[in-house]
């Protein structure tokens, strides 16, 4: 199959690119190379005859039309987005522009290409989204495909709007789409502004490890390579027009997650005092969702996917990866905003 992956130089997109090439698919990686991109993430496939890179912006209609005509993919996996909630609090319009206008522009290019090809039924537009579109849970319950949309952050709202656009292009134009809404990912190549890499890198640097609020917020964590596997499954086996909730069934309070990471580091990179001594509670994120959890019954029973790693196994692997890939994260630490506290209202 020939796949066009948008955002393939980012964290999850690069895992999809690596997996798809390893499976023998042709891949064209379309990425604008924003601050969050890193071509090192796909270095291991860069010389493969199956792999091509196109630096292009999903908001650029002419560029999207050109890339589609040149590469003629069988499917588009759309991951390009502004993805950091704290940055969306500081600058929401960039999220509206990329995640909404960019997705609409890409949908129009995809529709035009699909019509020119004679509307093949096998074509797929796979929109990759987040569980954050469903808002926040209380102590019980889990999100499913039937959960009402109730996004709270500008990031979540822009992703929710993009989900609605994708549905509309299916209902109105018959474009063969599938959607997926996944919980928090973690693992290798996670950009150093997100919680898990922040904890590991602050710990190793001997700096304060910031935990927002009281650390009681709960997230459901999924190892990024398990997500990539789930995305390929949804693409190849998912029913057109349907969405799939994806999660690791691995809920953890932020403070428990951070303490687990500190214990793993205590074992793997021991020093005189525990890394947990560096933990400090800091001002909470405005509108911080209390809890996310996913009921993955549909993808498990209909498509046969389940995560391969427990949270503990995934965290051990992730810490190992950061310990041996210092060159990768050191090179990113000079990027704009890395290491700074973002998303606090004045």
Catalytically active residues are: 131-132, 155
Considering CB under 6 A, how many residues would be counted as binding ligand NAD? 31
Q: How far is the CB of 108 from ligand NAD (least distance, A)?
A: 15
Answer yes or no whether residue 81 interacts with ligand NAD by CB under 6 A: yes
Angstrom CA distances, 273 to 124, 201, 206, stand at 53, 16, 11
Angstrom CA distances, 183 to 76, 124, 128, 292, 312, stand at 21, 22, 11, 7, 17
Rg over alpha carbons for the chain, rounded to the nearest Å, is 19
Contact 21, 2 (CB under 8 A): no
In sequence order, which residues have a C-beta less than 8 Å from that of residue 293 and are 6 or more positions away? 137, 141, 142, 143, 183, 218, 220, 247, 251
**Options 33-41, 261-269, 307-315, 336-344: segment touching ligand NAD (CB under 6 A):** 33-41
Within 123-142, the residues that bind ligand NAD by CB under 6 A are 128-130
**Options 74-82, 202-210, 234-242, 266-274: segment touching ligand NAD (CB under 6 A):** 74-82
- Closest residue to bound ligand NAD by CB: 10
Answer yes or no whether residue 32 interacts with ligand NAD by CB under 6 A: yes
Contact 254, 209 (CB under 8 A): no
Q: Give the span between the Cα atoms of 33 and 230, in whole angstroms.
A: 25
- C-alpha torsion 194→196→198→204, nearest 10: -160
Answer yes or no whether residue 34 interacts with ligand NAD by CB under 6 A: yes
Q: How far is the CB of 14 from ligand NAD (least distance, A)?
A: 7
Q: Which of 4, 13, 238, 293 binds ligand NAD (CB under 6 A)?
A: 13
∠ CA 292-296-300, rounded to 5°: 165
Pattern of binders to ligand NAD over 155-194, x per CB under 6 A? ----x----------------------x-xx-----x---
Answer yes or no whether residue 238 interacts with ligand NAD by CB under 6 A: no
Reported as half-sphere exposure (CB side, CA atoms, 13 A), residue 313 has a value of 11
Answer yes or no whether residue 79 interacts with ligand NAD by CB under 6 A: yes
Answer yes or no whether residue 311 interacts with ligand NAD by CB under 6 A: no
CA-wise closest residue to 125 among 185, 224, 58: 58
Residue linked to tokens 């499976």: 23
Q: Give the span between the Cα atoms of 227 and 329, in whole angstroms.
A: 22
Q: How far is the CB of 61 from ligand NAD (least distance, A)?
A: 12
- C-alpha torsion 165→229→3→243, nearest 10: -20
Answer yes or no whether residue 221 interacts with ligand NAD by CB under 6 A: no
Within 44-63, the residues that bind ligand NAD by CB under 6 A are 57-59
Answer yes or no whether residue 228 interacts with ligand NAD by CB under 6 A: no
| 3-class SS of residue 337 | coil
Answer yes or no whether residue 7 interacts with ligand NAD by CB under 6 A: yes
Tell me whether residue 6 or residue 217 sits nearer to ligand NAD (CB atom).
Answer: 6
Q: How far is the CB of 35 from ligand NAD (least distance, A)?
A: 8
Residues within the interface to ligand NAD (CB under 6 A): 6-7, 9-13, 31-34, 36-37, 57-59, 79-83, 98, 102, 128-130, 159, 182, 184-185, 191
């Amino acid at each position: 199959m020939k796949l066009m992956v948008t955002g393939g130089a980012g964290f999850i997109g690069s895992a999809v690119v690596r997996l798809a090439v390893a499976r023998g698919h042709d891949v064209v990686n379309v990425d604008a190379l924003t601050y969050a991109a890193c071509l090192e993430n796909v270095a291991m496939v860069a010389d493969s005859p199956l792999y091509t890179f196109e630096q292009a912006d999903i908001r650029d209609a002419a560029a999207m039309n050109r890339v589609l005509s040149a590469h003629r993919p069988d499917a588009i996996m759309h991951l390009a987005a502004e993805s950091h909630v704290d940055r969306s609090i500081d600058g929401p319009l960039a999220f509206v522009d990329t995640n909404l206008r960019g997705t609409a522009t890409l949908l129009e290019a995809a529709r035009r290409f699909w019509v020119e090809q004679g509307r093949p039924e096998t074509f797929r537009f796979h929109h990759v989204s987040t569980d954050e579109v469903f808002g926040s849970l209380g102590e019980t319950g889990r999100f499913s495909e039937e959960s009402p949309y109730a996004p709270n952050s500008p990031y979540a709202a822009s992703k929710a709007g993009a989900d609605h656009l994708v549905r509309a292009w299916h209902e109105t134009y018959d474009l063969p789409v599938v959607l997926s809404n996944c919980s928090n990912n973690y693992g290798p190549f996670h950009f150093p502004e997100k919680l898990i890499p922040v904890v590991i890198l602050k710990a190793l640097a001997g700096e304060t490890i910031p935990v927002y609020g009281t650390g009681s917020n709960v997230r459901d964590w999924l190892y990024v390579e398990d997500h990539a596997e789930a995305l390929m499954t949804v693409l190849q086996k998912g029913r057109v027009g349907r969405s799939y909730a994806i999660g690791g069934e691995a809920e953890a309070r932020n403070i428990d997650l951070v303490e687990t990471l500190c214990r793993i580091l205590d074992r793997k990179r021991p020093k005189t005092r525990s890394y947990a001594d560096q933990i400090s509670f800091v001002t909470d994120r405005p509108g911080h969702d209390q809890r996310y959890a996913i009921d993955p019954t549909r993808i498990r029973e209909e498509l046969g996917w389940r995560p391969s790693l427990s949270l503990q196994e995934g965290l051990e692997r992730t810490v190992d990866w950061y310990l041996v890939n210092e060159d990768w994260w050191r090179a990113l630490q000079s990027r704009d905003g890395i290491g700074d506290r973002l998303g606090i209202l004045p």
